[in-house]
């Protein structure tokens, strides 16, 4: 029944039309195969003449850029190594020169210090000699003052005790007592 309805519908559309998909109609296959081959040849020619050379050029450019970048990086690495070696050498030279300057400054300071110490020692000895001389003068002056005070005290004591003493006997008594 279904096939009868289908056949009736097909007859209503026209008696010369084929039923089904036109791609599956064997009578149109040679035409379809021709156009398939023409399309494939056209696509092949476009791909091989246009797309592949462009892609190849891009890949070659990338490859060249990468190679150049690697070469530049290697060159910069060598320059950096050389710069580091030069820096280390300059640093070592500067340290050695600084050590020489420090040693020279230290020697100069020590020499100045030795001169200053010798001068200070000489000044101290001169001042010590002057001080000793002044101390000797003070002692001598003190001994004379003690002798005078002792004479005056002895004279006053003798007069308070009711005696009379002459200056010569008081001086002899004080001198004898001072000697021991």
- The answer as to whether 14 is a domain residue is no
User: What is the mean pLDDT of each successive set of 10 residues along the chain, which is 180 residues long?
Assistant: 50 54 86 95 96 94 96 96 96 96 95 94 92 89 83 82 79 80
pLDDT at 8 (0 to 100): 46
Mean of pLDDT over the chain:
86
> Among 108, 96, 104, 178, which Cα is nearest to 144's?
178
Q: In this structure, how many other beta carbons lie within 10 angstroms of the beta carbon of residue 174?
A: 20
Q: What is the pLDDT of residues 68-84, one digit of tens each?
A: 999 999 999 999 999 99
pLDDT at 36 (0 to 100): 96
pLDDT at 1 (0 to 100): 47
- The answer as to whether 13 is a domain residue is no
- The answer as to whether 2 is a domain residue is no
pLDDT at 3 (0 to 100): 52
Query: DSSP states of 26-57 as a string?
Result: GGGHHHHHHHHHHHHHHHHHHIIIIIHHHHHH
128, 118 contact by CB (below 8 A): no
- The answer as to whether 19 is a domain residue is no
Q: How many domains does the chain have?
A: 1
pLDDT at 155 (0 to 100): 82
Could you give the CA distance from residue 177 to residue 151 in angstroms, rounded to a whole number?
Answer: 11
pLDDT at 14 (0 to 100): 47
- The answer as to whether 137 is a domain residue is yes
pLDDT at 86 (0 to 100): 95
Could you give the CA distance from residue 149 to residue 155 in angstroms, rounded to a whole number?
Answer: 10
- The answer as to whether 61 is a domain residue is yes
pLDDT at 19 (0 to 100): 67
- The answer as to whether 99 is a domain residue is yes
Q: Which domain holds residue 86?
A: 29-179
- The answer as to whether 15 is a domain residue is no
> Among 123, 120, 175, 122, which Cα is nearest to 148's?
175
């Amino acid at each position: 029944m279904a096939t009868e309805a289908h056949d009736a519908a097909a007859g209503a559309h026209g008696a010369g039309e084929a039923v089904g998909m036109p791609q599956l109609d064997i009578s149109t296959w040679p035409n379809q195969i021709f156009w398939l081959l023409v399309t494939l040849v056209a696509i092949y020619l476009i791909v091989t003449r246009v797309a592949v050379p462009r892609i190849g050029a891009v890949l070659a450019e990338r490859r060249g850029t990468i190679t150049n970048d690697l070469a530049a990086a290697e060159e910069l690495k060598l320059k950096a190594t050389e710069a580091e070696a030069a820096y280390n050498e300059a640093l070592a030279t500067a340290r050695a020169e600084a050590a020489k300057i420090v040693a020279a400054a230290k020697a100069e300071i020590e020499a100045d210090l030795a001169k200053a110490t010798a001068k200070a020692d000489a000044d101290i000895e001169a001042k010590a000699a002057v001080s000793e001389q002044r101390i000797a003068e003070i002692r001598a002056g003190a001994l004379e003052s003690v002798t005078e005070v002792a004479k005056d005290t002895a004279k006053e004591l003798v007069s308070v005790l009711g005696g009379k003493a002459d200056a010569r006997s008081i001086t002899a008594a004080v001198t004898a007592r001072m000697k021991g």
